Amino acid sequence: MLNYLNSDPEILEVAKLEIGRLQNNLELIASENFVSLAVLSATGSVLTNKYAEGYPGKRYYGGCEYVDMAEELARERAKKIFKAEYANVQPHSGSQANMGVFMALLNPGDTILGLSLDHGGHLTHGSPVNFSGQIYRAVGYPLNKETQTLDYNIIEDLAVKEKPKLIIAGASAYSREWDYKKFREIADRVGAFLVCDMSHPAGLIAKGLLNSPLDYCDVVTSTTHKTLRGPRGGMILIGKDKENPLGIKTLKGDRLKLMSEIFDSMIMPGIQGGPLMHVIMAKAVAFGEVLDDSFDAYAKQVIKNAKQLSNKLSEYEFKIISGGTDNHLMLLDLSNKNISGKKAEKALEIAGITVNKNMIPFDTKSPFVTSGIRIGTPAVTTRGMKENEMDVIAGLINKAVENNENEDILNSVKKDVNELCSKFPLYKELL
Ligand code: DSN
């Protein structure tokens, strides 16, 4: 496949180096995964050539009959996976999906309530450096200081006090289950829209291993490249069984019109132009893989691996925020290890283990330093690693963190990492 890059030796070298990096390192960034060769082929397909502003059957350009088929397949498969009534698969990213939803439902200056960034929330859920915190009045809900978990009393009190027009559930660094019914009750009490950004656990929700936000939320957004293991991108979904998901009285009963006119038109022409049809086709391929029974075993193993890794790291006296995990990730509080997240990330990188520094709830360090690291199992599980490998990985993490200033030991950990990785080949067909 890389042969086609022979015409550009400099770029060919970059591609080979990246494949080598993926093969030889342990990818533990919770938001990353390895797509199948089928998803990769679709992403690199001729559909990259096509302009197709609009939606299937209603495009502004000719020649869209085949890209229409790809987008229809992606929409239908997404709906089937999540038992949704509506899907828009055009957002280029999760941020674009969130922006489309916010702009469809809110006016500038309206109040939004989302999990604080430093407690595991996402940039687009109201951070002051992001559109969501600049266009809207953003209020953050914290985790409970003792349990380090969501505290529905705190969220309700804040909602009553701040009267948000929109409440957002979902996180990028939270390892526990969400009670969407409780969020719905709070949203209903204050008359707010309820949106969930399920980007991180979407692949686990797809297989019924975690609660589905579609049962209770007005709108759900997601990326397609994390636990869903698809190409980089976003989508918007609306679940079934709610007569009036947006609570807009004038549109009651006219759901399809509401969906297409409000959400579709906010994504295009509202905030995006031409859709990335090659990526949309790759989304269809990935959704087909999620629908296959084999994805059940994958999703279950992601959770089993996360629990095993978290238990084993606890044995090495790593403090796991909230005491453990229900999903694919965990957040480590390194304060008892006398090392910052930044320094741990660097030491682990030298040792061939890729993680990201991450703020922990009530962190006293800046986002550039942090007291924690975030670790996830989706990518190593795709490689076929199981509980035994998680035990080995915990030991390697411990050794690297404990010896973070000893280059010889870090290099010896790297050797062990390379050896482990060599037993789980990745993308060898590409070379
Ligand atoms: N950057 C992603 C993550 O790592 O969680 C979220 O957008």
Tens-level pLDDT at each residue, the chain (431 residues): 788 899 999 999 999 999 999 999 999 999 999 999 999 999 999 999 999 999 999 999 999 999 999 999 999 999 999 999 889 999 999 999 999 999 999 999 999 999 999 999 999 999 999 999 999 999 999 999 999 999 999 999 999 999 999 999 999 999 999 999 999 999 999 999 999 999 999 999 999 999 999 988 989 999 999 999 999 999 999 887 555 445 443 333 455 566 667 899 999 999 999 999 999 999 999 999 999 999 999 999 999 999 999 999 999 999 999 999 999 999 999 999 999 999 999 999 999 999 999 999 999 999 999 999 999 999 999 999 999 999 999 999 999 999 999 999 999 999 999 999 999 999 999 98
CA of 332 relative to ligand 1 center, distance in Å? 17
Query: DSSP label at 318?
Result: P
Residue 186, both tokens: 């709070």
Task: Name which residue sits closest to atom 4 of ligand 1, judged by CA.
Answer: 31
The arrangement of secondary structure in 42-291, i.e. its CATH architecture, is 3-Layer(aba) Sandwich (3.40)
Choice among 51, 66, 316, 427 that is catalytic: 51
- 389 CA to centre of ligand 1 in angstroms: 25
Nearest C-alpha to atom 2 of ligand 1 is from which residue? 31
89 alpha carbon – ligand 1 mean position (Å): 19
Q: Is residue 231 a contact partner of residue 286, using CB atoms and an 8 Å limit?
A: yes
Residues belonging to the chain: 431
Indicate which atom in ligand 1 lies nearest the CA of residue 223. 7
Is 51 one of the annotated active-site residues of the chain? yes
Catalytic residue among 79, 165, 226, 319: 226
Nearest to 381 by CA among 364, 369, 370, 393: 393
Marked catalytic residue, from 111, 221, 223, 325: 223
**Pocket lined around ligand 1, Cβ cut-off 6 Å:** 31, 94, 122, 172
Instruction: Evaluate the omega torsion of the peptide bond into residue 269 and state whether it is cis, within 30 degrees of 0.
Output: yes
> How far lies 61's CA from each of 16, 48, 51, 78, in Å?
37, 15, 7, 25
Catalytic residue among 53, 76, 215, 416: 53
Between the CA of 164 and the centroid of ligand 1 the distance, in Å, is 25
Q: 81 Cβ partners below 8 Å, 6+ apart?
A: 206, 287, 290, 291
Ligand 1 center to 249 CA (angstroms): 35
**What is the best residue among 31, 93, 115 to mutate for testing ligand 1's pocket, by most ligand atoms within 8 Å of CB?**
31
Active site residue 27: no
- For the CA of 173, the closest atom of ligand 1 is 5
Q: How far is the CA of 174 from the centre of ligand 1 (A)?
A: 12
Residue range(s) in the chain whose domain bears CATH number 3.40.640.10: 42-291
Is 342 a known active-site residue?
no
In angstroms, the CA 404 to CA 427 distance is 31
CA 309 to centroid of ligand 1, rounded, Å: 21
CATH number for the domain formed by residue range(s) 296-430: 3.90.1150.10
pTM attached to this predicted model: 0.96
The answer to whether residues 121 and 175 touch, using CB atoms and an 8 Å cutoff, is: no
Q: Whose CA is nearest to atom 5 of ligand 1?
A: 172
Residue 137 tokens read as 């009045």
Terminal Cα-to-Cα distance of the chain (whole angstroms): 7
Which residue intervals of the chain bear CATH 3.90.1150.10? 296-430
Counting atoms of ligand 1 from 1, which one is nearest the CA of 95? 7
Residue of 197, 289, 326, 389 with catalytic role: 197
Ligand 1, atom 1: closest residue by C-alpha = 31
